Structure 1
């Protein structure tokens, strides 16, 4: 199957009714990809290299190849913290790849203008705390005081255990952790766009247009006394705040719902986060411009089936997976499916506006 036909299978057939995108020589399209470790991307480059050359799976990755090598797209650039360049493999966690490869490829095929992906992702960061946006405010004084007491008690025990005299955490330090990743995300976007001419010479003289926001996060919000029950409201606040910050009241937003349960029913807290994310599909003000997709239904069943005995059959396992279930088995196929579905959903929303 040719590369063009593969792309039609992934995107074009599903969006045949979308209007053509006119060329604007003076702009480029910007997509913000935000979240925690699974937005970073955890499919090992060794695995994706194998599957891209294995006849049984090569077709899945053919859209990202240029002959026998990985394509480096001239029309799609990416910035992920201290790395930047043309879109290709390896823009996940070190020596890994994530959903950005499939998502960015789809955007590049769709737009005549250049595309820039800005990925702002940090493992282990919750929406309740670090990604908390301004409209959510701070938790109650009672909650903050309990957190401070716990942190101070922990430091005291560590000091006694290690014969140290580290200062006790302060309330200011406790409060500062709330929203730190949200603020870092905003700074990363601002700094990248300010320095785009230098980082990406092909964009010099062009103006950025923030075209969409992709959110793939939720695992750490399954833990704690308040995170799960506040997730739905905090998700609304996040969407509203990024739109306000980027002066785009109807900015298209696509959310990848927590899906590490795969083929199995989600457990209690995971289902609570899934339900909170899927609830965005029912918010009246978000109709037509915010969409949550399920990621569990995209599961790589081969990796899922082989994981329970991965230690005993490691040589077989490493040909299908490269990480734990909480990282979607490090499955290049699962991450690719997620990236494709997020892209398709994003473009469907744009086509309906």
Structure 2
């Protein structure tokens, strides 16, 4: 018994150093419901306190290589909106206190997987998938990859060990508007997943996405159903691909929405982020448990 205790005492400092050296990384991507319309000021005092506590261990780089604490209550923070990242970070912190987490997010409202987000971007595709000149110039997959590489390099230069534990994706409403973009969604989603996995050299990287439930568009009324079905068909839990299912019930009780019936409100983003966080927690073996 004494020998065992001595061995544990000898190993404990090294284990603690290894944990302190690691930063667990989650990638986030998508369009407006990933960018987020949740309002920090509408959160309960309890949730604001949870966010502030999580921000001691959880950071975010959103749309750039600059890293900030997660919480949105800092007095110098201009942005008061939040997406699912806030409660993803809260749940990860609460489940794994004293671990360090970094979220790297790229989200642009009104962009399609067929066009601006496609990992094999072409001018022809973007002209079909995007309707305005600004989005037709966007190459969001390559932009996100570039930022991720830069931030991971920063961590390693600081002597940290980044460990990518998965990606969360919330997108598809734009693709539901046209038959051409909706009908390809499932295949394009698989290409996107493989693109990130190839970049990170992680064939089993956990990938979680939220199922869209926007009201049908008049130009292609069945578009929402087509994308929803293809999202459901792409699930492969044995291969680390999970979907957060949503309801088309217009009461939006599962994930409450704003009056436009498209964008999740503050409570909806809380529930969405929590759901993403739970999938990351329940299906991840890369976060060491003390």
What TM-score results when the alignment is normalised by the length of structure 1?
A: 0.64
Distance 1:96 1:210, change over 3 A: same
* Aligned residue runs from structure 1 range 113-132, under 5 A: 113-132=99-118
Counterpart residue number, 2:85:
100
Counterpart residue number, 1:85:
68
In structure 2, list runs of 5 or more residues that go unmatched. Answer: 1-14, 216-220
Counterpart residue number, 1:318:
none
Counterpart residue number, 1:333:
267
SS in 2 for 1:124: coil
Q: Tell me the distance in 1 between the aligned counterparts of 2:286 and 2:155.
A: 30
Distance 1:300 1:190, change over 3 A: same
Q: Tell me the distance in 2 between the aligned counterparts of 1:64 and 1:275.
A: 36
| Structure 1 residue corresponding to 2:26, chosen from 31, 45, 54 | 31
* Rg comparison, structure with higher value: 1
Counterpart residue number, 1:181:
140
- Write 1 or 2 for the structure with the bigger share of helix: 1
Does 2:262 align with 1:274? no
Q: Is the 8 A contact 1:260 1:296 kept in 2?
A: no
Q: Tell me the distance in 2 between the aligned counterparts of 1:334 and 1:38.
A: 10
Does 2:209 align with 1:255? yes
Q: How many residues align?
A: 260
In structure 1, list runs of 5 or more residues that go unmatched. Answer: 1-20, 54-61, 155-168, 199-203, 262-266, 305-320
Question: Aligned-pair RMSD on alpha carbons?
Answer: 3.7
**How far does residue 36 in structure 1 lie from its aligned partner after superposition?**
0.7
Distance 1:250 1:181, change over 3 A: same
| Structure 1 residue corresponding to 2:36, chosen from 27, 38, 41 | 41
| Structure 1 residue corresponding to 2:240, chosen from 286, 289, 302 | 289
What TM-score results when the alignment is normalised by the length of structure 2?
A: 0.76
Q: Is the 8 A contact 1:32 1:213 kept in 2?
A: yes
Distance 1:302 1:76, change over 3 A: closer
SS in 2 for 1:31: strand
Q: Tell me the distance in 1 between the aligned counterparts of 2:255 and 2:234.
A: 30
